[in-house]
A and B are shown apart, each in its own frame.
Chain A
């Protein structure tokens, strides 16, 4: 109970918000808009899973938004050239993994601080993409949207797919030694080394995994519309980090789980529709997200101070 205080409190807040919506804005619960909302958040969830791993490992990656855009555009270009969809998916995931490996090498190999490294790769990728694409959209062949299915079937595929990733990673993180090693490295890298774990290698791999997941998320975003926008991932990093931190993953590493990240993401995802339904202007969304991040870290800080020496 005490261990999962944070996850439970976020879940409780989420339920409270949903309850409030049920009372004040029951229109929120109409099945079709709700499915659309969840579908829109599905790619974000996948990136959040990867980000949770990176943060548990005591690192951070703020270049995911740019990676997302690059993978999306890359996939779109390949699809437009007539590549079959499975190959396009594979290529996007592979491209993401390569981008993640670059970050991972700089952080784990050269031992540079991840915040500055990923800040640099964020802007390099973004500007490189702008240079190559000049802001142009990529038009996709017909059969790509919703994997060639009808819309609601496609939406269900995406939602189930993201939940499957969540469940798999969540279970692996909980029940596989490989997953526990991520916690070990984030909690005490020196003790991990003494226990026969290679911290730099684990760090590298979580970055690669995050990149691959970002590639997958990009594909899941691509199939939702007939065109790919180069700006699709702008600001994604903030949303994802906010969700993960709010969900109880400690920025100092070693703590938190994917369930918390999931609940945190849903909570933040509710902000925008809740604002609309409660007739508050949507421009407040970013400010509220920032305030939620600050609240979450302040709560952690206060709790640690009280329990600490």
Chain B
């Protein structure tokens, strides 16, 4: 699969250029190419009139390209001053460090980005936004000419946001080119000079922000025809299986989620990355147990303190990160498939190869897993087939509620529609499916109802068959009528 297809992107000095697109539209790949982490297989990069070949991270730094990632790459055990010093002061391993100067410089840089952080504080004591500000201070200190900010406001409060905007505007005044990636349209209108919209790895146009309306932008982002055909719902949903009342979890930032899930229903959960969808799934699966609200399963009130408990209650979770959480790559498919059902398939604790193989062969057949056999290690399979193995593991538990987290991410088109058919069939067989997906057409095409999450809360529930525009607007936090105007 190609993540980027012939994207033209230019950035002028003293400009804030916003980059907009759905999850998976190719923004992060574009960043990686520009910072030298990925080598492009076609096209060229020109920095300040000089065409650069074979861009590496070091070369990118020398050229004055800095990137502020959502997850800061800092040293948690060291102080802020030290972190900035290690990044900015190069050469001379045995020259004496001038601590007062380092502190003064740090204090100055922090002041320039409007942060009130003690230079002597350890980074592991800082909040995520504070760490981000340290990163920004770092790139300011490095004298970067091009600063890329990847959703810098994702975890900032209103006040911190205002401060950040001031920093960005100051950078612009100083002649720095800023690539600003954000899902929040109001930020783009407040800050950016131009905006480029990416869709499916291609640019759908660069426009001056002044000439755009919010509605135009949303249209550009989602304006694709629903090309794929999705299997239709065949029967109306049945009884309520899972009933959440004001579920919250402080540690993971889930706030007051109330929703009902019915048998035979596919409930799509849309929202931007970091909106709290995976976090909600983790709460329901007992990985980060809820600390407020009420969960009812078939009308009975339950608590879910651990995954084990969740499995016993009939809740299954097919995780987003297949390679780390979904499938143990080194272990055979059959062992992966039975991993969550040790108790039922091996009731006395002894392994039963026959039963295991039968179960594996059964799933390999019904889910059409392409593999060398039940003994093939999970790592030898393609993404789509790994996903089917992960799915099989959870179907083996005979769940009542199936939570799917990005079920078709990184899966090729053929396997994708296969997985869609499987999901629909499962719902038809009476399973309640909660499907988290960032693939908007998938959510629209598959779901009987669509919940949209924003900032850890369930923002709205839309009926199935809603249009992309409405969902995207809800995810972005726009009033629906305003977006449609």
A residues apposed to B, CB below 8 Å: 3, 172, 175-178, 180-181, 183-184, 186-188, 190-192, 194-197, 250, 253-255, 309
Give the distance to chain B from A76, nearest Cβ to Cβ, in Å: 34
Give the distance to chain B from A224, nearest Cβ to Cβ, in Å: 32
Chain A neighbourhood of B96, CB < 8 A: 175-176
**Cβ–Cβ contact A254 & B78, under 8 A:** yes
B window 65-84: CB within 8 A of A: 73-78, 82
Chain B neighbourhood of A176, CB < 8 A: 93-97
| Alpha-carbon distance between A192 and B75 when the two chains are bound, in angstroms | 8
Chain A neighbourhood of B89, CB < 8 A: 177
- Contacting residue for B73 out of A172, A175, A194, CB 8 A: A194
Number of interface residues of B (CB under 8 A): 24
**Cβ–Cβ contact A177 & B92, under 8 A:** yes
Residue of A with least CB distance to B98: A175
Chain B 92-107: CB-based contact to A (< 8 A → 1; otherwise 0): 1111110100000000
**Cβ–Cβ contact A191 & B75, under 8 A:** yes
Chain B neighbourhood of A183, CB < 8 A: 75, 77-78, 82
| Alpha-carbon distance between A129 and B122 when the two chains are bound, in angstroms | 46
B window 88-126: CB within 8 A of A: 89-90, 92-97, 99, 122
Best-surrounded residue of A3, A176, A181, A191 (most CB of chain B within 10 A): A191
Residue of A with least CB distance to B123: A187
In the complex, whether B86 has a CB less than 8 A from a CB of chain A is yes
| Alpha-carbon distance between A255 and B82 when the two chains are bound, in angstroms | 13
- Contacting residue for A3 out of B75, B95, B99, B122, CB 8 A: B122
Give the distance to chain B from A308, nearest Cβ to Cβ, in Å: 9
| Alpha-carbon distance between A207 and B210 when the two chains are bound, in angstroms | 60
| Alpha-carbon distance between A191 and B251 when the two chains are bound, in angstroms | 26
Chain A neighbourhood of B86, CB < 8 A: 177, 180-181, 184, 192, 195, 197
**Cβ–Cβ contact B58 & A196, under 8 A:** yes
Chain B neighbourhood of A254, CB < 8 A: 75-78
Given contacts A180-B86, A194-B57, A309-B251, contact A188 B97 (CB under 8 A): no
In the complex, whether B87 has a CB less than 8 A from a CB of chain A is yes
**Cβ–Cβ contact A191 & B74, under 8 A:** yes
Chain B neighbourhood of A184, CB < 8 A: 75, 78, 86
In order of increasing CB-CB distance, the 3 nearest A-B pairs are A254-B77, A178-B93, A187-B75
**Cβ–Cβ contact B93 & A188, under 8 A:** no
Chain A neighbourhood of B85, CB < 8 A: 180
| Alpha-carbon distance between A172 and B86 when the two chains are bound, in angstroms | 15
Give the distance to chain B from A255, nearest Cβ to Cβ, in Å: 5
Chain A neighbourhood of B99, CB < 8 A: 175
Give the distance to chain A from B456, nearest Cβ to Cβ, in Å: 16
| Alpha-carbon distance between A176 and B92 when the two chains are bound, in angstroms | 9
| Alpha-carbon distance between A254 and B74 when the two chains are bound, in angstroms | 12
Chain A neighbourhood of B92, CB < 8 A: 177
Chain A neighbourhood of B97, CB < 8 A: 175-177, 180
Given contacts A176-B95, A178-B94, contact A188 B57 (CB under 8 A): no
**Cβ–Cβ contact A187 & B76, under 8 A:** yes
Residue of B with least CB distance to A194: B73
Give the distance to chain A from B397, nearest Cβ to Cβ, in Å: 28
| Alpha-carbon distance between A177 and B89 when the two chains are bound, in angstroms | 9
Known A188-B73, A255-B77; further 7 A-B contacts with Cβ < 8 A: A172-B94, A178-B93, A184-B86, A190-B73, A191-B75, A250-B77, A254-B76
Chain B neighbourhood of A178, CB < 8 A: 93-94
**Cβ–Cβ contact A188 & B94, under 8 A:** no
Chain B neighbourhood of A250, CB < 8 A: 77
Chain B neighbourhood of A175, CB < 8 A: 96-97, 99
Chain B neighbourhood of A192, CB < 8 A: 75, 86
Chain A neighbourhood of B87, CB < 8 A: 195
B window 210-265: CB within 8 A of A: 251
**Cβ–Cβ contact A180 & B82, under 8 A:** yes
| Alpha-carbon distance between A180 and B99 when the two chains are bound, in angstroms | 12
Chain B neighbourhood of A172, CB < 8 A: 94
Chain B neighbourhood of A190, CB < 8 A: 73
| Alpha-carbon distance between A176 and B58 when the two chains are bound, in angstroms | 23
Give the distance to chain B from A185, nearest Cβ to Cβ, in Å: 9
Give the distance to chain B from A59, nearest Cβ to Cβ, in Å: 15
Give the distance to chain A from B374, nearest Cβ to Cβ, in Å: 33
Give the distance to chain B from A133, nearest Cβ to Cβ, in Å: 39
Give the distance to chain A from B150, nearest Cβ to Cβ, in Å: 15
Chain B neighbourhood of A191, CB < 8 A: 73-75
28 A-B contact pairs sorted by A residue (CB < 8 Å): A176-B94, A177-B89, A177-B93, A177-B94, A177-B95, A177-B97, A178-B93, A180-B82, A180-B85, A181-B86, A181-B93, A183-B77, A183-B78, A184-B75, A184-B78, A184-B86, A190-B73, A191-B73, A191-B75, A192-B75, A194-B57, A195-B87, A196-B61, A254-B75, A254-B76, A254-B77, A254-B78, A309-B251
Give the distance to chain B from A174, nearest Cβ to Cβ, in Å: 8
**Cβ–Cβ contact B122 & A188, under 8 A:** no
Residue of B with least CB distance to A56: B77
Residue of A with least CB distance to B58: A196
Give the distance to chain A from B148, nearest Cβ to Cβ, in Å: 14
Give the distance to chain A from B93, nearest Cβ to Cβ, in Å: 4
**Cβ–Cβ contact B78 & A196, under 8 A:** no
| Alpha-carbon distance between A176 and B93 when the two chains are bound, in angstroms | 6
Give the distance to chain B from A188, nearest Cβ to Cβ, in Å: 5
Residue of B with least CB distance to A174: B97
Chain B neighbourhood of A180, CB < 8 A: 78, 82, 85-86, 97
Chain A neighbourhood of B58, CB < 8 A: 196
Residue of A with least CB distance to B72: A191
Chain B neighbourhood of A194, CB < 8 A: 57, 73
Give the distance to chain B from A167, nearest Cβ to Cβ, in Å: 14
**Cβ–Cβ contact A188 & B95, under 8 A:** no
Chain A neighbourhood of B82, CB < 8 A: 180, 183
Chain A neighbourhood of B95, CB < 8 A: 176-177
| Alpha-carbon distance between A254 and B353 when the two chains are bound, in angstroms | 47
Chain B neighbourhood of A255, CB < 8 A: 77
Chain A neighbourhood of B75, CB < 8 A: 183-184, 187-188, 191-192, 254
Residue of A with least CB distance to B93: A178
Residue of A with least CB distance to B122: A3
Give the distance to chain A from B175, nearest Cβ to Cβ, in Å: 25
Residue of B with least CB distance to A189: B75
| Alpha-carbon distance between A191 and B123 when the two chains are bound, in angstroms | 13
| Alpha-carbon distance between A192 and B77 when the two chains are bound, in angstroms | 12
| Alpha-carbon distance between A194 and B78 when the two chains are bound, in angstroms | 16
Give the distance to chain A from B58, nearest Cβ to Cβ, in Å: 7
Chain B neighbourhood of A188, CB < 8 A: 73-76
Chain B neighbourhood of A177, CB < 8 A: 86, 89, 92-95, 97
| Alpha-carbon distance between A196 and B61 when the two chains are bound, in angstroms | 10
Give the distance to chain B from A14, nearest Cβ to Cβ, in Å: 24
Residue of A with least CB distance to B61: A196
Chain A neighbourhood of B74, CB < 8 A: 188, 191
